[in-house]
A and B are shown apart, each in its own frame.
Chain A
Amino acid sequence: MKTADTANGQTINSLSSTADTRRQYWLSVMAKASADRVKALYDSLPEHPTWTTIRPAETGMVMVRGRVGGDGNRFNMGEMTMTRGAVRLANGVAGLGYVQGRSRRQAELTAVLDAMLQSPETNALISTRIIEPLAREQRDARDIRARKAAATKVEFFTMVRGEG
């Protein structure tokens, strides 16, 4: 899966994308965003839905795995914090939030937004107002990091000694 590289605003609306792929994409974008950005963008929405909590947001850990030599058998590298939550909107649609770190508010809002994205009446609004800006910020951050790194790439040159 390479959603961060390949997916963008167009992929969300692409007809060829399955519902799962689209959901995978927006959940990933919100999981990797900072809690502050998700809260700020959510607060900027013109209207806020009402919801009931299916599962209160809860912080725990995921064991991060690596591979021996990068490509061999799996091994347990160490854990990371993650927070998850689940909600149901008044329209009956359920949403899930799985986010990096320990922000319960981010997990809850991600679940609310996941449900709104699954609801045809709010999908376009949330895509435009929340997912696209977050994805753009993530792409830009990645691009600037990669270009600063590129400036440290070694350009070798060979010194010619002697004659002929």
Chain B
Amino acid sequence: MYVAVKGGDAAIENSQSLLAEERRGDTAVDELDLEQIKQQLSLAVDRVMTEGSLYDEDLAALAIKQARGDIVEAIFLLRAYRTTLPRFGASEPIDTGDMAVRRRISATFKDVPGGQILGPSFDYTHRLLDFTLAANGEPPAPTPVAEAPVDEAMPRVTELLNQEGLIEQESADDDQEVFDLTRESMKFPADREARLQNLARGDEGFLLALGYSTQRGWGRNHPFAGEIRMGEVAVEFTPEELGFPIEIAEITVTECQMVNQFKGSSEVPPQFTRGYGLTFGHCERKAMSMALVDRALRAEELGESIEAPAQDQEFVLAHACNVEASGFVQHLKLPHYVDFQSELVTVRALRKAIRESAANQEDPGMPPAAE
């Protein structure tokens, strides 16, 4: 039986009005504008674009403002918006080897060609609260500008290892159809391209915890941060009317190449294996976590035993999306009055049956049921 419950219209309307007021906060304080969010909360914008799976800084800033800074809610808003837009096609694959690098570090080679470029990083801050920011302090001193720019082309660390055949190589088959999880549902086992799309939009916290679990022994794969690079890449798109590609955008991305435990067989001499992470904007923790989990999910392909959650495709890929996860967890708030009534009836009946059977056996130890 399904019983429709109506009511609460006025309460809902007033709740939304109260939400809008709380979002705005004290009107004596200036309202945030989108440009401020874009400029000064740029890493929140980057995360919302990455997990919202839509590169548009203005929309991400709007989502953050509307969601009152609730990042997962903002991601939901962006995902919902993208369903209203037509798809014009797919870009040529971005070339991260041709990135205009703003940060590039390697934990495996000190003297990597092109150098270690720290860029803007929290890594060397002391994590002490800076009270000059609280005091709305003066703008920071102008940052030093070197005479010469960084190298235009920086070889990937994986290419350096490739030269000696010490690391597995990727091969590119561009005739192969590209799986798209926005158009088709995930099937298990999923190939690596499908897994990477899923991980690229997956929840940072979830992937961080899974990546961490591999380091703590739950599917250990001995990672080194072979290279992390962040900077701008061109996006090329071929309009059907033109028949040749044009650069339609320059976007910021972060890439992580994990270099992992080696393995060999009777045919292949021992070589390092790889895990890969790629995000929009500057999402370094996410890119690293993604690379760890990508590598963990390759367990079967690499002949490793699947023992830990991070190696289990279905466990990881079916739970990585925070829009789905948040929706399913939060749907518990919706009225379940009828479901619950039926459970109440069942529990009462069970208790009654037990009480009666106990009475029949004249067992005085049975406590009376509270109803």
Chain A contact residues, CB within 8 Å of chain B: 1-5, 20, 23-24, 27-28, 31-32, 58-82, 84, 86, 96, 98-102, 142-154, 156
Contact = CB atoms under 8 A, between A and B. Distances in A.
B11 interface: no
14 contacts: A1-B245, A20-B242, A31-B247, A76-B178, A78-B50, A78-B201, A80-B54, A81-B56, A96-B241, A96-B242, A146-B149, A149-B149, A150-B148, A153-B117
Interface residues of B, number: 87
A73 B98 CA distance: 17
Nearest to A156: B110
B82 interface: yes
B179 to A, nearest CB: 7
A32 B150 contact: no
Interface in B168-207: 170-174, 176, 178-182, 192-194, 196-197, 200-201
Interface in B143-174: 143-150, 152, 156, 158, 170-174
Contacts of B239: 84, 96, 98
Given A24-B246, A76-B197, A146-B100, A63 B90 contact: yes
A73 B193 contact: yes
B100 A73 contact: no
B278 A77 contact: yes
A102 B170 contact: no
B246 A31 contact: yes
B73 interface: no
Most buried by A among B103, B193, B242: B193
A66 B143 CA distance: 32
A2 B99 CA distance: 11
A75 B257 contact: no
Contacts of B244: 20, 24
A145 B103 CA distance: 11
Given A64-B251, A65-B92, A69-B276, A145 B102 contact: yes
Contacts of B49: 78
B123 to A, nearest CB: 11
Given A76-B181, A149-B103, 17 more contacts: A20-B244, A28-B234, A62-B87, A63-B89, A64-B94, A70-B156, A71-B156, A76-B197, A80-B56, A84-B88, A100-B248, A100-B250, A101-B56, A147-B148, A149-B150, A150-B117, A152-B117
B257 A70 contact: yes
B91 A64 contact: yes
Contacts of B90: 62-65, 76
A149 B55 contact: no
Contact of A62 (B88, B118, B178): B88
Contacts of B231: 149
A32 B255 CA distance: 22
A65 B94 contact: yes
A27 B194 CA distance: 32
Interface in B80-98: 82, 85-94, 96-98
Interface string B227-268: 000011011110101101111111101010100000000000
B101 interface: yes
B87 A67 contact: no
B160 to A, nearest CB: 13
Contacts of A20: 242, 244
B277 to A, nearest CB: 10
B76 interface: no
B220 interface: no
Contacts of A59: 85
B47 to A, nearest CB: 12
B145 A147 contact: yes
B274 interface: yes
A153 B118 CA distance: 6
Nearest to A59: B85
B86 A148 contact: no
Nearest to A144: B145
B144 A151 contact: yes
A89 to B, nearest CB: 16
A73 B274 CA distance: 14
B249 A100 contact: yes
